[in-house]
Amino acid sequence: MSHRVLQPSIPPEASRDHPSRQCERSAHKSELATPVGSEDFESGNAETHFPVPFRMRGLSKDDESALKARAVGGQMHPSSLPFKILAVDDSAVCRKLVEQALSGERYTVLFAKNGREALALFAEHQPAVVIADWNMPDMEGLELCRHIRRDSPDLHSHLILLSGNADKEQVVEGLTAGADDYVTKPFHPSELVARVEVGRRIAELHRQIQGQNRLLEEMALTDALTGLPNRRAVEVWASRQLSAAVRYHFPLWVVMADLDFFKKVNDTYGHDAGDTVLKGFAEILKANTRQSNICARSGGEEFLLVITHSDKAGAKSAVERIREQFESRNFSFGNGTVTVTASFGIAGFHEAKPLDWNALLSCADTALYAAKHKGRNRIEFELESGI
Ligand SMILES: [Mg+2]
């Protein structure tokens, strides 16, 4: 990655003048004096529902894709992640000096002229390193650090404060405010690059750990065989939907599905054949689940589907479609072709006293038992639920 400046807001006249004449003259008149250095998802055409999509907290889409690619065996090295630096300084000359110090390095540098611009660029780009001037008219670097730490608790960015004041008490105040490093002006370009590199290493490590933790979280909520959300995931989702259904008075139905005589498939054709049947049912379930609903494999040959915003007839129609599609699907194993069926138990409420999740599951289970008892490959509603 080559050095790229996204927003070098340096006025022409500033770049023509010598640093010592352009640097802010208020608090740190001598900060640029020496070396070169001083100074950002029910219908037949329903969309396929996939496990609860995650947005990795604190990661941009580019970072997330890169981390996922790496986690599944991709070749992307962490150092190839987009690495951005945000430099904020009210002095055009100081911004220019930071730009010069970082030129030749593989960074994308964003520049802000004040704290407000810096916060906007930070929210948009989530830079790995922020180099912030202490003294700025609208917002001190100290306050900027506090804002970033408070507003982005899940995102680690390495914050470097720049100040002409080398007083230890101010250094402590800066670090206490959330800064990771403190560099005094005038700075040596190589020292700034070295400190930015330290920040890059720490920020990359943080982002790798965050990405891996998110992937682990996603894996913990996904059924590995079918790719459907698992029971835990549907419980998390359902608890929120139940609260909303109660508050906004919309219907909610819990469908418990169980493949009929599944053990025979495993015993006759083997477990690989059984897995194929489970995946086949999952595909039909997904293809018939609206983006606003959720389906899951809750264990073994048992699946769950939660349907919201649909009356009893609508819910039954949606489940009947799944039952019919699965019944008509042929599975070929060796020389034989097999068809498998499923039974469904539905419980829910619509303009009636709402039930909690466990009560709904219990009612759906009772209805499923009834469907099995009445001959399988059928749908039953739990009469005790509020319909
Ligand atoms: Mg300043």
What pLDDT score does 335 carry? 79
What rounded mean pLDDT belongs to the chain?
80
246: confidence class by pLDDT, cuts 50, 70, 90? confident
Residue 247 has pLDDT above 50, yes or no: yes
Say whether pLDDT at 155 is over 70: yes
Give the per-residue pLDDT at 28. Answer: 36
For 326-338, b/e burial (b = at least 16 CB within 10 A) is beebeeebeeeeb
Mean pLDDT along residues 216-228? 91
pLDDT value of position 134: 94
Residue-level pLDDT at 81: 54
Asked whether the predicted pLDDT for residue 99 surpasses 60, the reply is yes
CA of 139 to the centre of ligand 1 (A): 10
pLDDT above 70 (res 326):
yes
For residues 70-75, give the mean pLDDT. 39
Cross-strand bridge partners of residue 341: none
- Contact 32/94 with Cβ under 8 angstroms? yes
Which residues crowd ion ligand 1, with CB under 5 Å?
24, 90, 133, 135
CATH superfamily of the domain spanning 2-53+221-381: Reverse transcriptase/Diguanylate cyclase domain (3.30.70.270)
Distance 158 CA to ligand 1 centre (A): 20
Q: How far is the CA of 276 from the centre of ligand 1 (A)?
A: 65
Residue 229 has pLDDT above 90, yes or no: yes
CA distance 133 to 239: 46
Cα(118) to ligand 1 centroid in Å equals: 13
Question: How many A from CA of 24 to the centre of ligand 1?
Answer: 6
Q: How far is the CA of 162 from the centre of ligand 1 (A)?
A: 9
Spans of all domains in the chain? 2-53+221-381, 61-219
d(CA 250, CA 256): 20
In the predicted model, what is the mean pLDDT of residues 25-34?
32
Query: How many whole angstroms separate alpha carbon 226 and alpha carbon 249?
Result: 33
Q: Per CATH, which fold does 61-219 belong to?
A: Rossmann fold (3.40.50)
pLDDT of residue 31: 33
Q: How far is the CA of 360 from the centre of ligand 1 (A)?
A: 62
pLDDT in tens, 288-312: 999 889 999 999 999 999 999 999 9
Quote the strand ranges of the chain, DSSP E: 4-5, 84-88, 108-112, 129-133, 158-163, 181-184, 252-259, 294-299, 302-308, 331-333, 336-338, 342-349, 379-381
Q: Give 130 Cα–ligand 1 centroid separation in angstroms.
A: 15
Q: How far is the CA of 102 from the centre of ligand 1 (A)?
A: 19
Q: Specify burial of residue 289 (Cβ count, 10 A radius: 0-12, 13-18, 19+).
A: buried
What predicted TM-score, i.e. pTM, was given to this entire model?
0.57
Query: Are 339 and 331 contacting, i.e. CB atoms less than 8 angstroms apart?
Result: yes
Residue 76 banded pLDDT, cuts 50, 70, 90: very low
How much distance in Å is there from the Cα of 201 to the middle of ligand 1? Answer: 27
Answer whether residue 248 shows pLDDT above 80: yes
Please tell me the predicted confidence (pLDDT) of residue 72.
38
Give 163 Cα–ligand 1 centroid separation in angstroms. 8
> What's the 25 CA to ligand 1 centre distance in angstroms?
9
Confidence class of residue 383 from pLDDT cuts 50, 70 and 90? low
Long-range pairs for 63-66 at CB < 8 Å and ≥24 separation? Answer: 63/126, 63/207, 63/211, 64/211, 64/214
